[in-house]
Amino acid sequence: MLASGFPTQLALGALLASAGLSPVGSDGRLSMQYLALLMPADTLLLSAFIVWRLRAGGGRASTVLLGSRGWAREAWLGILLVPLVVGGVAGFLLALRTAWPGLHNVDVNPFEALLRTPGDVAVFVVLATLAGGVKEELQRAFVLHRFSQSLGGARAGLLLYSVIFGAGHVIQGYDVALATTLLGVAWGAVFLWRRSVVAASVSHAGFNAAQVLHFAVFGA
């Protein structure tokens, strides 16, 4: 539950609020300053928590999260997966919006409004790749590992956590939430296949970077 990210973000949000920072700026849009503080802090907090819990359970974080495969080979696999993931999501959203247009309930992605200058784009590429490629894949690996140990098996964990992962993106629209659910299944399956977060992390980071650049150039 703690590794899901919701409790830590709420706690960090309360801390930032006590310091006078709001997630929404005076213009009614998401605040880049707020996200630039929240996302790295949440990544560090969750990463430390996951490593602590794995060690407390008698395991080695490096063994559970990185496995025994070479980093370079896994990273290349992740790079090769990026165009497949980008193309798959684009095709899925196109088909979904054609068959069920009501699910496209958010015309402008709220994160798109943050990308006002090239500097904003550069900062958000870093934030998106950090949050997706590092934090979210460490979370997914930890949750799947725990499910495979004593919570009903990795398949149950993959299904449940993918739904939660998708629900966490509903702010971007119902169609995006469904696509993100499938992405969760795909990246979780890659982790279970490789027993290493590297390929899924690189793929996720590359996908997020591509999405930010697409928003910056073409819009949602």
> Each residue of 45-101: pLDDT tens digit?
999 999 998 888 777 888 888 888 888 999 999 999 999 999 999 999 999 999 988
Residue 220 predicted with pLDDT over 60: no
Calculate mean pLDDT across residues 123-128: 90
Considering the entire predicted model, what is its pTM?
0.89
pLDDT tens for 166-181 read 988 888 889 999 999 9
User: What is the C-alpha separation between 42 and 40, in angstroms, rounded?
Assistant: 5
3 state SS of 198: helix
pLDDT tens for 5-40 read 788 888 898 999 898 888 887 777 778 888 888 999
User: What is the C-alpha separation between 188 and 182, in angstroms, rounded?
Assistant: 10
Q: Which of 70, 66, 87 is nearest to 191 (CA)?
A: 66
Cβ-in-10-Å burial (0-12, 13-18, 19+) of 47 comes to middle
Residue 123 predicted with pLDDT over 60: yes
Tell me how many degrees the CA angle 127-133-138 measures, rounded to the nearest 5: 120
The pLDDT value given to residue 187 = 96
**Terminal Cα-to-Cα distance of the chain (whole angstroms):** 32
User: What is the C-alpha separation between 34 and 55, in angstroms, rounded?
Assistant: 32
3 state SS of 102: helix
For the chain, the maximum distance between any two Cα atoms, rounded to a whole number of angstroms, is: 50
Calculate mean pLDDT across residues 146-165: 89
Residue 111 predicted with pLDDT over 80: no
Looking at every residue in the chain, the average pLDDT score rounds to: 88
DSSP 8-class letter at 31: P
The pLDDT value given to residue 169 = 86
The pLDDT value given to residue 155 = 92
Q: Residues of the chain with pLDDT > 90: what percent? A: 45
Backbone angles phi, psi at 165, to 5 degrees: -60, -45
Residue 216 predicted with pLDDT over 80: no
pLDDT tens for 186-199 read 999 999 999 999 99
The pLDDT value given to residue 185 = 95
The pLDDT value given to residue 219 = 60
User: What is the C-alpha separation between 125 and 1, in angstroms, rounded?
Assistant: 28
User: What is the C-alpha separation between 215 and 184, in angstroms, rounded?
Assistant: 21
Structural domain spans, the chain: 63-218
